Structure 1
Amino acid sequence: MKLSHVSLLASLLFSASSWALSSDTEQPIHINSNSQNFDMQSNQVTFTGNVTLKQGSIEIFADKIVVIRPQGKEGREVLEAYGKPTRFSQLTDDGKTLKGKANKLRYELENEFLKMTDSAELTQDDSIIKGKVITYNMKTQKLIADGGKDDRVTTILQPSQLNNK
């Protein structure tokens, strides 16, 4: 089966309340880079060169981050991060650290939707989900991992985490 719905495994791997520190989205976004290019016509800002983004406990490290604000409306921003790999981390409400990496990350703020593409990996407490594409809808708490055409999804659950559930 090429497409693996792993929300059941994800619930074992990551408890529902542990996906995000709930106050993160209320914090300002700070971005540092070597350069930035702002296109007022398209409401798009491109940050390049050793880019770091921080919002609350969320940290993203990338070669390039593009921030798009559709129709110029605040709160609907889309963040696209590129790197080999792009890395992110976030504290959870229960004090654990969620880490991920992929060659491309896309986060839709309004929809609370994260998509990790190309060599995607999500880890917490030494448990890991790997695939070509990992998507996570934070509103519905559904995670989907896809191995792609030629690969499979790999999930490694640590026994200590399973025993704590």
Structure 2
Amino acid sequence: MLKLFTPLNLVLTSLALSWLSPMAIAQGRADFAQPIAIQAQNESFDIANKMAIFVNDVRITQGTLEILAERMEVSRDSATETDVFVATGSPATYSQQLDDGSPITARANIIRYDQAAQLLTLSGDVEVNQNNSVIRGNEIIYNFATQQLTANRDGSEDDRVTTIFMPKKKNQDDPTER
């Protein structure tokens, strides 16, 4: 049976799964049952080429999840019936409140999700923050299938990947944590 492509179907069927952050795989799940809203100053749909383009002040929200970008392209691969999402900005940003109430944020020049390969790639001046801990690098790749994260430098001799883990804060009211 041939499935008909519609711009709304392209966005709604895959966007909910596409913007999971590397550190929030099992968290923030309630957001993905919420409606998706995409706002932009301009949007266009190329139905023949199965592509949706949102430009200028793009804002995507779904529950507490929010992505801000200058441009987002969504394209569908006819053979696999899967989508590729690419958000770009200076930087593009992602934020979400996790199930435990803590926020997670990420920024990158390019945020790309390939649904068929199950890869989330953040590239260009990447920073991911959660619970005062941070990962910085030129590229961070998260493989949903294998649940593996790789952080890469930009290739220059001086560049390094940085990860900072913050110690757990002591509870002053709990005598066992003194």
TM-score range, shorter chain: 0.7 to 0.9
Partner of 2:59: 52
Contact 1:18 1:92 in 2 (8 A): no
Q: Contact conserved, 1:99 with 1:123, CA < 8 A, in 2?
A: yes
Give 1:63's aligned residue: 70
- Corresponding residue number in structure 1 for 2:14: none
Query: 2:109 matched to 1:103?
Result: yes
CA contact (8 A) 2:76 2:84 kept: yes
Matches of 1:140 and 1:91 in 2, distance apart?
A: 24
Question: Greater Rg, structure 1 or structure 2?
Answer: 2
Q: Is the 8 A contact 2:22 2:142 kept in 1?
A: no
Q: Provide the identity percentage.
A: 34
- After TM superposition, the score normalised by the length of structure 2 is 0.72
**Alignment gaps of 5+ in structure 1:** 1-13
Number of matched pairs: 148
For 1:103 and 1:94, locate their aligned partners in 2 and report how far apart those are by CA, in whole Å.
Answer: 28
- Alignment partner, residue 137 of structure 1: 143
The answer to whether residue 165 in structure 2 is matched with residue 157 in structure 1 is yes
Are the structure 2 counterparts of residues 73 and 36 from structure 1 closer, same or farther at C-alpha, using a change threshold of 3 Å? farther
- Pick 1 or 2: higher relative contact order, CA cutoff 8 A, min separation 6: 1
Partner amino acid for 1:144? T
Q: What is the match of residue 130 of structure 2?
A: 124
Deviations for 1:51-94, whole angstroms, at most 9, x for unmatched residues?
001123321100001111222976x2221001000000122232
Q: What secondary structure sits across from 1:77 in the alignment? A: strand
**TM-score normalised per structure 1:** 0.77
**Hey, what does 2:89 align to over in structure 1?**
83
Shift of 1:125: 1.3
Aligned partner of residue 94 in structure 1, secondary structure: coil
Question: Which moves more between the two structures, 79-88 or 19-28?
Answer: 19-28
Structure 1 counterpart of 2:77, which letter? P
